[in-house]
A and B are shown apart, each in its own frame.
Chain A
């Protein structure tokens, strides 16, 4: 019976191969989109999930409550926290600090010559860390290997890179930051990419020294802390000891009230409030948005299916009737129809897999992640696909099967079943829903593209073109060569100006600090502090509003502020601020100038109050303003000069324009995704509509023939068929607009600088949907209207 059903199903699909093709095309593209989205989401959710204790591991993170109601989140904690927690929290099995450190790493070969010199990231970790995270150790064990100071364990890949073969790494030494000789005492297996802490070089925490090691008031983003709960302990049990803990250690008076949160391991990758060492965070809202798009894709594809199936039902009514008088029960018919649907869905799935394979490299490149489509490696994909086939099969097959199996046999045999009413209305509703989804997506895409263009073209208030940032080392020996380095580089032809600074005018991470203004109490907001030299204004083309710019100095002697800072301080005229005293952590100096506001963060955020001053200790980069056409030559020479002065260091540079572009990387990905999925969904709706209108045209062939005999013109017939559909699409627009408006408003509100929403994206979406409908319907109905009425009527 089943085999026969399959056979019949196949013959039926073949007989209506036009519709089958439409169905399969729509379904397979929709399903491929879903599979891709699933691969991406499941990859994102797989972060940090390979550890045995993953459900008991938490990261301690910081939160600061400001009096004004503002909150600040920080993934890092004060340095003394780990030890204190180990003492004060009885319900923790283990506590481990994780300290990130960037520096020059040098490896010598057997003869003592420096073979490798790179700038890289290492981590200071205590043996306890490996009791929380079960790394696989290939040589040594963390208890022994990382007990002594100046020992280091390497990942297999790193050991091979440094020493050729990881077996030979044991006992050798590497040099870190030009001042530490570290002995390799252990090798562990490589940590997969989908990890928030990809540790390749683990230095014993015993050798870690820092001036803030006893300070609770200072948080550096390099210091994280992980805890492992004892079995059976919940995170709520930590609340009470935490209150006592905060009281005990945070005795210093601060503007913001400090607090700590315990972040579950699985949240680290998807909580955008906190960063992590891998720098990879995919926000929940992004995951949610993608899920929504996936579901919408499937629904539009299913709608095609339901529409075509119910439309075809009339033609199959005879078969239903005959089967019923032969003794087929309703259930058997349902099973038969569902078999057909499932078969179609399966074919679509195979095609979807092929499409996925083709599209995967593109998506991996877009997201910059290694996403694989491997059933054997990840059986969950198989589970997902089976689930999807069942979902699609039932969602799209159930209703048509129910309608068809419910036909009365006496009428069905005479082809007189009337599903014109019930089925017709449902079909119309579905078309409206489908097009509403399409219109929402198209409108959203247009707005995203408009906003992206807006951001790209909005002036930031400073000049970023032809500027390169050369990073400079921070130890005192290197600092002493700053002046000569700058002079030498300025002498190069093609260099216009150069300025030392801790960061460019706009940067992703900004140093903030509390300060006192004009003898008043400590301000209840923090200012963005920029340590710069006297040439900053010229280099970045900032504009002075009042006073003068900074003069040359190695220490804090004067301050320059921006307009926003004055606004926050309620100073109306920039002139009034000149000469006022600022105290920034014990450094007293006067304001000498006010600069016009420039954007110091991405355009998602508004401009911060900014304090600028000179301080050699704070410089981290040298900004070069160059003649645009001489950039390659200048960069090459600058690198050469740099290396002359810092032979033990590793040169690196960035272009300012690239940095700015990178702020909007996630928006670019979102934009690209929306563009792709909008096109896909337009395509699905389009072929669905084509299928439906083909069917309607065929069904109404006789009616059209009669009308033609009565004197209707081809144009009149085409517009007759168009009217219904145009009306439906207009209705879909009406429904889609408010929904799209709400979503778009919400998305735009994430930007401090945004386009004002006008009617155009909505009008454009309407125009696109109407054009698609007109073209599709006219094309198909013209063919029907042109047929000779005699051909249509002779069947009777």
Chain B
């Protein structure tokens, strides 16, 4: 599904290049649950941003579903966002002015899903995450864990093939974090959704099927998790 070849990313400052990523090559198959780990500044977030096409690599090729997506034009990238990619953020990034239901509905609007189906999908999501009672609340009326659930529900609403999560539990208490991780695992196993997450936590990484260790921009280890 994802093929990275020799991805490089650096910032040049007065002729001095500071590398964020070097020679990153890897392949991620449909249905994998990958955790990207490493110390601060190792390039985890940058790698995830490149995977999510939020940033472009300086060199290297990136194929997403068999298509080269480096310097993809905006229209096509938006198409990918609408149909295949869901994002989950550490700080949830719900839209504050929208209610829970509206937040979940938003990507469907952009995907131009019909009104009736939108309603049913939002209802389904709310049901699935036990949020029916909270559908008219605004994000700031929810706890962090609940907000992240809404964030995930929003990412799932458009029925993506892949979810990219940047430290999804970074702001949560451990009990809530476990709940989110269980959810990811279930999604991965039951719905075959590819999940790529950046995490600091060994425990979280344990939920996945594969761990990529990054160190100073280089993949230092690529471990298959044995259950």
Question: What is the interface of chain A, defined by CB distance below 8 A to chain B?
Answer: 1, 4, 7-8, 11-12, 15, 318-319, 321-330, 332, 408-410, 413
Question: Which residues of B line the A interface, CB within 8 A?
Answer: 49, 52, 54-55, 74-75, 78-79, 81-83, 85, 87, 89, 93-98, 102, 105-107, 109-111, 154, 158
| CB nearest neighbor in A for B155 | A326
CB neighbours of A321 from chain B (8 A): 93
Contacts of B93 in A (CB 8 A): 318, 321-322, 413
Tell whether, in the assembled complex, residue A325 and residue B154 are in contact, meaning their CB atoms are under 8 Å apart: no
Is B75's CB under 8 angstroms from A4's CB?
Answer: no
Instruction: Report chain B residues within 8 Å CB of A11.
Output: 97-98
CA distance A408 to B81 in the complex (A): 15
**Which residues in B have their C-beta under 8 angstroms from that of A326?**
81-82, 87, 106-107, 110, 154, 158
Enumerate chain A residues within 8 angstroms of B154, measured Cβ to Cβ: 326
- Chain B residues, CB < 8 A from A330: 74
Beyond the given pairs A326-B110, A327-B82, A327-B83, 7 more chain A to chain B contacts, judged by CB atoms under 8 angstroms and listed by A's residue number, are: A4-B105, A4-B109, A322-B95, A324-B81, A325-B81, A326-B81, A327-B78
How distant is the Cα of A4 from the Cα of B102 in the complex, in angstroms?
8
In contact, A8 and B55 (Cβ under 8 angstroms): no
- B55: A residues at CB distance < 8 A: 410
Complex CA distance for A325 and B54, rounded to whole angstroms? 8
In angstroms, Cα B98 to Cα A7, docked, is 9
Residue of B nearest to A7 (CB): B102
Q: Which residues of A contact B96 (CB under 8 A)?
A: 15, 319
Cα of A318 to Cα of B98 in the assembled complex, Å: 13
Which residues of chain A are within 8 angstroms of B107 by Cβ–Cβ distance?
Answer: 326-327
Q: Which 4 A-B pairs have the closest CB atoms?
A: A327-B82, A410-B54, A327-B81, A327-B110
Residue among A4, A326, A330, A410 with most chain B CB within 10 A: A326
Q: Which residue of A lies closest to B55 (CB)?
A: A410
Smallest CB gap from A318: residue in B: B93
Q: Give the residue of A324, A327, A410 whose beta carbon is less than 8 angstroms from that of B111.
A: A327
Give chain B residues whose Cβ lies under 8 Å from the Cβ of A8: 95, 97-98, 102
Chain B residues within 8 Å of A324, by CB = 78, 81
The distance from the CB of B77 to the nearest CB of chain A, in whole angstroms, is 9
Select one of A1, A12, A332, A408 contacting B97, CB under 8 A: A12
Task: Write out the residue numbers on chain B whose beta carbons fall within 8 Å of the beta carbon of A328.
Answer: 78, 110
Minimum C-beta distance from B43 to chain A (A)? 14
How distant is A320 from chain B, measured CB to nearest CB, in Å? 10
Min C-beta distance of A758 to chain B, whole Å: 55
Are the C-beta atoms of B110 and A319 separated by less than 8 Å?
no
Given contacts A1-B109, A326-B106, A327-B107, contact A319 B95 (CB under 8 A): yes
Cα–Cα distance between A410 and B87 once the two chains are bound (Å): 12
What residues of B have a CB within 8 angstroms of the CB of A319 in the complex? 95-97
Given contacts A323-B106, A410-B54, A413-B89, contact A329 B95 (CB under 8 A): no
Per a CB cutoff under 8 Å, which of B87, B94, B109 touches A325? B87
In the bound assembly, the distance between CA atoms of A671 and B75 in angstroms comes to 57
- Complex CA–CA separation, A318 to B151 (angstroms): 14
A323 contacts B78, C-beta separation under 8 Å: no
A330–B95 Cα distance when bound, in Å, is 17
CB-CB < 8 A to A4: which residues of B?
102, 105, 109
A322, B105: Cα distance in complex, Å: 13
Q: Are A15 and B97 touching (Cβ within 8 A)?
A: yes
In the bound assembly, the distance between CA atoms of A411 and B98 in angstroms comes to 22
Name 7 A/B residue pairs within 8 A (Cβ), A-sorted.
Answer: A11-B98, A319-B97, A324-B78, A325-B54, A326-B82, A327-B111, A328-B110
Q: How far is the CA of A4 from the CA of B107 in the complex (A)?
A: 13
- A302–B218 Cα distance when bound, in Å, is 52
Provide the residues of chain B in CB contact with A332, threshold 8 Å: 110
- Beta-carbon contact of B74 and A323 below 8 Å: no
Residues of A within 8 A of B106 (CB): 323, 326
**What residue of chain B has the Cβ atom nearest to residue A319's Cβ?**
B95
Bound together, the chains give a CA A332 to CA B81 distance in angstroms of 15
A44 CB to nearest B CB, Å:
46
In contact, B158 and A323 (Cβ under 8 angstroms) = no
Please report the C-alpha to C-alpha distance between residue A484 and residue B106 in the assembled complex, in whole angstroms: 97
Residues of chain A contacted by B52 (CB below 8 angstroms): 325
- How far does the alpha carbon of A164 sit from the alpha carbon of B145 in the complex, in Å? 86
Q: How far is the CA of A332 from the CA of B97 in the complex (A)?
A: 17
A318-B52 Cα distance, complex, nearest whole Å? 17
B-side contacts of A318, CB under 8 Å: 93
Q: Which residues of A contact B95 (CB under 8 A)?
A: 8, 319, 322-323
Bound complex: CA A327 to CA B107 (Å): 7
How far, in Å, is A334 (CB) from chain B's closest CB?
A: 13
Would you give the shortest CB distance from A407 to chain B, in whole angstroms? 12
Whether B78 and A329, one on each chain, are in contact in the complex, defined by CB atoms closer than 8 angstroms, is yes
CA distance A330 to B55 in the complex (A): 17
The answer for the CA separation of A321 and B110 in the assembled complex, in Å, is: 14
B145, chain A: closest CB distance, angstroms:
19
Taking a contact as CB atoms under 8 Å apart, the answer to whether B54 and A409 are in contact is yes
> How far apart sit A379 and B217, CA to CA, in the bound complex (Å)?
68
* B-side contacts of A408, CB under 8 Å: 54
Q: Which residues of B contact A329 (CB under 8 A)?
A: 74-75, 78, 110
CB distance from A324 to the nearest CB of B (A): 8
Chain A, Cβ-Cβ closest to B49: A410
Chain A residues within 8 Å of B111, by CB: 327
Chain B's closest residue to A325 (CB) is: B87
**Distance of A425 Cα from B55 Cα, bound (Å):** 28
